[in-house]
Structure 1
Amino acid sequence: MTTEIPTRTGLETTLSEGVAIRNEPFVTCKGKGNRLIIGKEAAIGAGGRLKLEFLGNGNTISIGANCQIKRGHYRFVGDNMNITVGDKTTINGAYVLCMEGASVAMGEDCMLSYDIEIRTSDAHSILSSETGKRINQAKDVVLGDHVWVGKEALLMPGARVASNSIVGTRALVTGIFEEENVAIVGVPARVVSTNRTWDRALLS
């Protein structure tokens, strides 16, 4: 176990007290002013290696205190974007892509399963056949506090999920869900039940 990020990558790192990095991340940093900030007592790489790609300048990954990030791939293409993970959030495995100036924010005490994909851009253009103008602009993706995201869910540009909600396995989230305490499932995702929340423990 290590508590360091290789300085040869050119990535500016700030590691708080008690950070545990079990497998040294793969880091690609081709720009300037990119930063990785990891909060107190966070644990990184317990389920594999985290891949970090900074293909631009001034991008920041901020991982809160007491987070557990087992593995994944976080990628910036462009400048001045952020991936923010709130305190006590756990992520078993996610691919997070930030492009075109749009960022990803996850609240506190979220729980993300395996093989999740979060994208701020489609990476290609969808055009109006009438005007020729692009209609799929990049947008931020935001999760509130205490959101559970099931295995293989896909959160697309502009997806927003309010606090205390559940996103079902393989859900395709493309819209804005402002109501808290809901369960969201399906392709495309929709609210299927209200007055719901969740707990990490198996309660009887």
Structure 2
Amino acid sequence: MQKFEAENGNVIYGDLQCKDSKIEFMGKNNILFLSEKANLRNAQITFVGSNALVFIGKSCFRGRIMIFTNCVCYIGNALGQSASDMFLNITSESYCIIGDDCLFSWGVVLESSDHHPIFDFKTHQCLNTSKRNILIGDHIWVGQYAWVLKNTFLASGSILGAKGIATKTYYSNSANVGIPAKQTRKGIFWNGAVIKDSTKEEIKKLEQNHKDDFKFTYQKDSFLSPYAIEQKLESLQSAQEKLEFIYDFL
């Protein structure tokens, strides 16, 4: 794997397969890791702060990432995107983890901050800076113009409908819509087949030929607790340490 060293301790690992893309380091000691078969198309990745990590698995990323200080943005394998206008805004000391085989439609935004502080009237305590992480499991479908906000966990196999705003934990194999998004169906699964031009006969074939690959059930021995991942990342200091943990664990 190639290693490109920029100024101020910033590093890029991987083969730079970039088309019409821009990588900008404004801080120091940041890492961009592009795994084998990862590439960028019409992408813009801006390291606004320092000591941050962006890890892209075996995926083609199209969109914009703005990442601040002491952050991690992890994108797994087989990412599917309908457009290049996806925007990830990862604010200081927060983590955004996206699993494998996820599908994002156009106009999707992931944002881990309220932008401005909100204070308690009497104590002056800042009320909106904790629990700012975004955790997305495997095989998630996010519809058009949906927003995923801080403290959200989309469990594997779930769906976030068009223009929905995710703000909490959503269970595996569930459909969720609205502002804020709420569960409308459970016990469902989806695949990447396109049905907008399918006849009734073709739909029947899909029903008969489906597999159970996308039915997610809890298995204690293999379950990766997102909260355990959060705790481990918080215990690590440098972007290099976080890279080694993510590379080995995820």
* Identity percentage of aligned residues: 23
Structure 1: runs of 5+ lacking an equivalent = none
- The alignment covers a number of residue pairs equal to 191
Residue 86 (structure 2) pairs with residue 94 (structure 1):
yes
| Structure having the larger proportion of residues in helix | 2
CA-atom RMSD in angstroms: 2.2
| C-alpha separation in 2, matches of 1:43 and 1:201 | 24
Match of 1:13 in 2: 12
Deviation at 1:8, TM superposition (A): 6.1
CA spacing shift, 1:119–1:148, aligned 2, 3 Å: same
Equivalent residue for 2:40? 44
- Could you tell me how far 1:21 is from its partner in structure 2? 2.4
Q: How does 1:42-191 map to 2 (within 5 A)?
A: 42-45=38-41, 49-65=42-58, 67-70=59-62, 72-78=63-69, 80-91=70-81, 92=83, 93-138=85-130, 139-177=132-170, 179-191=171-183
Deviation at 1:97, TM superposition (A): 1.1
Asked whether the equivalents of residues 140 and 159 of structure 1 are also in contact (C-alpha less than 8 Å), the reply is: yes
Which position in structure 1 is the counterpart of 2:210? none
**Counterpart amino acid of residue 21 in structure 1:** C
Determine the structure 1 residue equivalent to 2:193: 201
Write out per-residue CA displacement over residues 121-177 of structure 1, whole angstroms, 9 at most, x where no aligned residue.
Answer: 112012222432221114110101000111111111101110001110110111122
Ranges in structure 2 where 5+ consecutive residues have no aligned partner: 196-202, 204-250
8 Å CA contact retained: 1:9, 1:28: no
Cα offsets for 1:46-70 (capped at 9, x unmatched): xxx21111122111111111x1222
**Letter paired with 1:29:** F
CA displacement at 1:37 relative to structure 2: 1.1
Paired letter, 1:22: K
Q: Output the TM-score relative to the length of structure 2.
A: 0.70
Tell me which amino acid in the other structure corresponds to 2:66: R
Q: Distance in 1 between matches of 2:123 and 2:103?
A: 42
* Deviation string, structure 1 residues 92-144 (Cα, Å, up to 9, x no partner): 33211111300100011111111111111112012222432221114110101
- For residue 136 of structure 2, what is the amino acid of its counterpart? L
Q: Partner amino acid for 1:156?
A: L
Q: Distance in 1 between matches of 2:127 and 2:35?
A: 38
Is residue 150–residue 170 contact of structure 1 (8 Å, CA) maintained in 2? yes
